[in-house]
Amino acid sequence: MLAFPNAKINLGLNVTGIRTDGFHDIETVLIPVAFRDILEIVPSGEQEVEFRFSGSTIPGKADENLCLRAYHLIKSVFQIPMVRMHLHKVIPIGAGLGGGSSDAAFTIKLLNEIFSLTMTPLQMMDYAGKLGSDCAFFIDNKPVFATGRGDQFEPVELNLAGYSIVIVIPPVHVSTAEAYEYVTIKKPVESLRAILKASPGEWKDRLVNDFERSVFQRYPGILQIKEKLYEAGAVYVSMSGSGSAVYGLFYQLLPDLSSFAGCNTWTGKLA
């Protein structure tokens, strides 16, 4: 059975404090976008689970992949057989697009469907949350206001009809741990909820990603991508998550992407 785990972007990202558990408190809005990996899972009848991947490079050991971790988590609760999994990786790792988290969440959803486990969305979200802070987001896969570690969700209403998105991913891996090491923790000047009530054309300089300042200092090429997207006519541009991906929102017209040679680019609609 096939599934197509999708990416996400962050609209605003405020890092507001350090928690007693060592994690950071954040607030952000998560939006699903149709930039997708391909995941296939089939029952195998073998003695061991088989995991293969293709496409973009996946760093680390294969047996530590989030798809496998998700499978073993579900198998520890339900008596499911061994499977063969093939992940074709399209969403780059270390881009702030949540590709690994999405793969894990879609593994849980596929296993639930293949083996008729009858898990509810809340149950699947609980299991997904054990694998990463934003994994649970991809179970419902709808825009949310995220707080806490990025794992507490509230529905959010946004009207982005008529807008297109361009995502530009440079050949740079930004470590999430490194991004948090250098970020400046502060209370937001303006409420994220209040900013999002305005049109995207009013978000520039108001809707901020707290990771940008330190990431741009260490990787000035990422800042240049942001500047180029504004020059191309974007109404709003931001880094997603802790980077390295940068997205631009365009109203109606899409830009010429030839100036982003050497980068991975994706375009799509927002509605």
Q: In angstroms, what CA-CA distances link 69 with 50, 51, 84, 209?
A: 13, 11, 14, 30
Q: Which residues are catalytically annotated?
A: 8, 134
Rounded CA-CA distance 15/30 in Å is: 15
Split at pLDDT 50, 70, 90, the class of 169 is very high
247-259 pLDDT, tens per residue? 999 997 778 888 8
Instruction: For the beta carbon of residue 34, count every other beta carbon within 10 angstroms.
Output: 12
**139 in the same domain as 24:** yes
**134 in the same domain as 20:** yes
Split at pLDDT 50, 70, 90, the class of 144 is very high
**133 in the same domain as 92:** yes
83-142 pLDDT, tens per residue? 999 999 999 988 999 999 999 999 999 999 999 999 999 999 999 999 998 999 999 999
Question: In which domain, by residue range, is 48 found?
Answer: 2-154
Encode burial over 218-249: b for 16+ CB neighbours within 10 A, e otherwise.
ebeebbebbebbeebebbbbbbbbbbbbbbbb
Domain boundary residue among 123, 154, 185? 154
Domain boundary residue among 135, 154, 173? 154
Query: Could you say which DSSP state residue 201 is in?
Result: G
Look at the chain and report how many structural domains it folds into. 2
* CATH code: domain of residue 133: 3.30.230.10
Report the pLDDT value the prediction gives residue 180, as an integer from 0 to 100: 85
**6 in the same domain as 122:** yes
Rounded CA-CA distance 193/208 in Å is: 12
Question: Which residue, among 67, 69, 71, has the nearest Cα to 102 in the 3D structure?
Answer: 67
Give the distance from CA 249 to its chain's centroid: 17
**106 in the same domain as 87:** yes
The answer to whether the beta carbons of residues 34 and 266 sit under 8 Å apart is no
Query: Could you say which DSSP state residue 183 is in?
Result: P
Split at pLDDT 50, 70, 90, the class of 62 is low
* CATH code: domain of residue 252: 3.30.70.890
Paired residues of 2 in beta bridges: 40
40-49 pLDDT, tens per residue? 999 998 889 9
177-212 pLDDT, tens per residue? 888 888 888 888 888 999 999 999 999 999 999 999
Structure tokens at 40: 């296939």
The rounded mean pLDDT for the chain is: 92
